[in-house]
Structure 1
């Protein structure tokens, strides 16, 4: 990937490239009700459910449980890799009628694009389930034009994983109210133990930079770009200094070119901290493949400064599941989706996917999360962060084109191919051009 320009994501562009004339429209025929009512020797309805979660991390068990309980509606699970190539594979399947009935989207910009391409059903037509009520106020982050085209099904949160033993050796307490300067100091101190002070999952880099503008937005009141926000600048300065001055985190180019398996490195004890999220539980709880002799604690994502206003942490709810309007079995898909959200997905909890529905007891979910590995965690810090009411969350609403453009620019900065001032100058110029081109 090094040196390559990242291609902006667009379903309709994909359509054009595929030789298709327009985005999908309309709704599929409703054969589900007809078959369900026929009873007797009717063939079972078959649904296909796509998601980015590995089958062995819980989805297959959930689907197997459903299939045992519902012989008349059988579900097949299909995993796609949640990267650019994997999402294009899903989009192609949706747009060319390859039998996708339900699918999960794992970030909002991609989801919004799918809604605009008419490949997500408006769930408002179903009156037997109130998503706002069952999932809570954070579900609203997944609305498009005030409507639900997907049901967010899990609690979603980024946080900092900590090697508790390394912290104890360094005389550092498990942090809670802390800043990016504090995190830099922690990383520098932990690096003295001949390990990385901190590692960061590349998927989180963009969300880190979205946080400072989560409330006021990427566009200023005068209609111009806000992507050169001073708090964003401070985060980038800190990360650059940690690479080149402190040498407490890997060089960006090195991590990218070597495709560093950062979760494995952390679980081997080769880093004191790891900036990621709840999905890492599926690796950390798998002691057969990732044996470790240290306890893990977790801490919230730090504020940029102590006095930061509108502090937000990426998260809220995730794994937003949509029904394909072209499905021939919409009623059956809706029945499965409700079951899955209201507890059917519990087998995914040990992999960090805690159900967001109020139909599922939080203590039951937490017990499932750490089942059999309780002694490998600082349980108090894990529970405190995962169920904290001390910070608000956000979902990124930045258009995918600008996420790609920003990544292109910060890659040049982190590889010392341009200064920070040049980076922001180029980025703001690109953003203002984008805003002008897409002015309503």
Structure 2
């Protein structure tokens, strides 16, 4: 643009000079003709108003574990581009199966290799905290202040970490219990709307049927394993209003909570005495998956996150051949509040090494608000979505499944409407280390190598050492 302008002015000046020289009559004063001056002015004006050079859109890269089936990426990203034509989002899928552990390993490898990561997603608070500690995510506080909102008010999940916000939450996925309604009808059990873990264990016992390879278990617990799926190790803690995790808000150990021991007792009783839950040894040795265990009717109930909303009506990969109902996450005691449950989300962050942080944040903010509605796959964490909107969102979600008519929609909507998050404990940067220790000790317990009291003592000793070493 600047080059063209100066070229035009120079051309105009040459014309003026030549015409002036031709009109000279020996006088010391030269005067350009009116036509020449007009031509020069026109040339300069044309150069100054020339069409601007076309600017290519900024390209940002989104690293995610989410598959197309789970996240409707094409529709979502097309909608963002339509609203923001100056930004193009390139999708980098880290797992074809949507396996978060596989995706996390690949994300770490990409970061270590120096790949430019503009937007990244974490599936759990421990992974989020650990990678913030490694410097992989940029703080968003200045962007949020400029936009004029408070993260903890704008969203149902608070993502603060060490006093700063490094991500915005996408989906709002409370945990619930999926039930094979045909199996319930078979043994004369109703769909629960308010129940305890003792009730859950009783249901599992009554639903268990057969022996050997064809045995149908009452339930399937998908964890802990590999330092992940720790929800299954704190079942009777995470439905509490406060201190709902294995670490407290101040980062100290919460293993001494009586509900941690009660969870261990529940797991041991259901597997070893009632024989109503799939054996842990089978889960690990056979690499079992919760989807197939439930949809193949190997287990009648599973406690799982409501990301399953997109699949409970059946998919091409995992068809539904029976009727499904949904129940709230169980309570510990009959008098406890109903609906308290762990909540999972996608922690959507801006990469610390991104060269386009403004554009990356713009996508993160849009995706975690309007984009969640466009995506139509989950209940959003965005607080602008009210409980009254849940039924219509569920209609949209179920319409994308193969057999939505087999889902007891009333039980699903009721469960989601009453679900509320327990206190979200900001994850400590060493949380993943704690989880691995507890996972190892749990395996010793459930495989008969130590009793519950020994497991708790050994876990406490090791966790205290981890905490102490990280506070130096």
TM-based fold match above 0.5: yes
2:380 — aligned with what? 355
How much does 1:133 deviate? 6.6
Residue 379 of structure 1: which of 406, 409, 419 is its match?
A: 409
Q: Tell whether the 8 Å contact from 1:120 to 1:324 is kept in structure 2 after alignment.
A: yes
Matches within 5 A, 1:13-24: none
2:57 and 2:248 map into 1 onto residues whose CA distance is 54
Candidates 424, 432, 435, aligned match of 1:400: 432
Q: CA deviation at 1:223?
A: 9.7
Question: Which position in structure 2 is the counterpart of 1:59?
Answer: 73
Write the distance in 2 (CA, Å) between the matches of 1:312 and 1:424. Answer: 25
Question: How do 1:138-217 and structure 2 match up within 5 A?
Answer: 138-140=156-158, 142-192=159-209, 195-202=216-223, 205-210=229-234, 212-213=236-237, 215-216=242-243
User: 115, 124, 145: which is aligned to 1:107?
Assistant: 124
**Residue number among 151, 154, 157 corresponding to 1:135 in the alignment:** 154
The Cα shift of 1:161 comes to 0.5
Q: 2: distance between equivalents of 1:222 and 1:145?
A: 10
Deviations 1:150-195 (A, max 9, x none): 0101102111101112112211111132221111110010113752
User: Given that residues 62 and 346 in structure 1 are in contact (C-alpha distance below 8 angstroms), is that contact kept between their aligned partners in structure 2?
Assistant: no
Distance 1:282 1:180, change over 3 A: same
| CA–CA separation in structure 1 for the residues paired with 2:296 and 2:410 | 23
1:117 is displaced (CA, Å) by 2.4
- After the TM superposition, which of the residue ranges 356-365 and 250-259 deviates more from structure 2? 356-365
Trace 1:262-341 onto structure 2 (pairs within 5 A).
Answer: 262-306=290-334, 312-315=340-343, 318-341=345-368
Which residue is equivalent to 2:418?
Answer: 388
Compared CA separation, residues 246 and 363, structure 1 to 2 (3 A) = closer
Alignment TM-score, normalising by the size of structure 2: 0.76
- Displacement of 1:64 in angstroms is 3.2
For this pair of structures, how many residues does the alignment match? 398
Structure with greater Cα Rg: 2
**Residues 1:224 and 1:378: Cα distance change in structure 2 (over 3 Å):** closer
Which residue matches 2:106?
89
Q: Partner of 1:284: helix, strand, or coil? A: coil
Q: 1:196 deviation in Å?
A: 1.4
Name 1:79's counterpart in structure 2: 93
Tell me by how many angstroms 1:376 deviates: 1.6
Instruction: Call closer, same or farther: CA 1:421–1:122 in 2, change over 3 Å.
Output: same
Structure 2 gaps, min length 5: 1-50
Q: Structure 1 residues 373-382 or 193-202, which shifts more? A: 193-202
- Partners of 1:336 and 1:282 in 2: CA distance: 23
- The superposition leaves residues 36-55 of structure 1 with CA deviations (integer Å, 9 ceiling, x where unpaired) of xx974222211110112113
CA distances 1:232-251 after superposition (whole Å, capped 9, x unpaired): 11221221222122221111
- 1:77 is paired with a residue of what secondary structure? strand
Q: Contact 2:187 / 2:207 at 8 angstroms: preserved in 1? A: yes
SS in 2 for 1:272: strand
Instruction: Give distance in 1, aligned partners of 2:410 and 2:122.
Output: 31
Q: State the SS of the aligned residue for 2:177.
A: strand
Work out whether residues 211 and 311 of structure 1, in 8 Å CA contact, stay in contact via their aligned partners in 2: no
- Aligned residue for 2:174, secondary structure, equals strand
3-state SS in 1 of match to 2:172: strand
Q: Distance in 1 between matches of 2:299 and 2:468?
A: 44
Q: 1:333 deviation in Å?
A: 1.3
Write the distance in 1 (CA, Å) between the matches of 2:165 and 2:467.
26
1:89 Cα deviation after fit: 2.0
8 Å CA contact 2:219–2:300 kept in 1: the answer is yes
TM-score (norm 1): 0.81
CA distance change for structure 1 residues 95 and 88 in 2, over 3 Å: closer, same or farther?
A: same
Partner in structure 2 of residue 24 of structure 1: none
Name the CA distance, whole Å, in 1 between partners of 2:339 and 2:382: 25
Residue 208 of structure 1 aligns to a residue whose secondary structure is helix
Task: Give the distance between the partners of 1:436 and 1:188, measured in 2 at CA.
Answer: 42
SS of the aligned residue for 1:387 comes to helix
Where 2:302 maps in the other structure, the secondary structure is strand
Matches of 1:386 and 1:414, distance apart in 2 = 32
Q: Does 1:243 align with 2:271?
A: yes
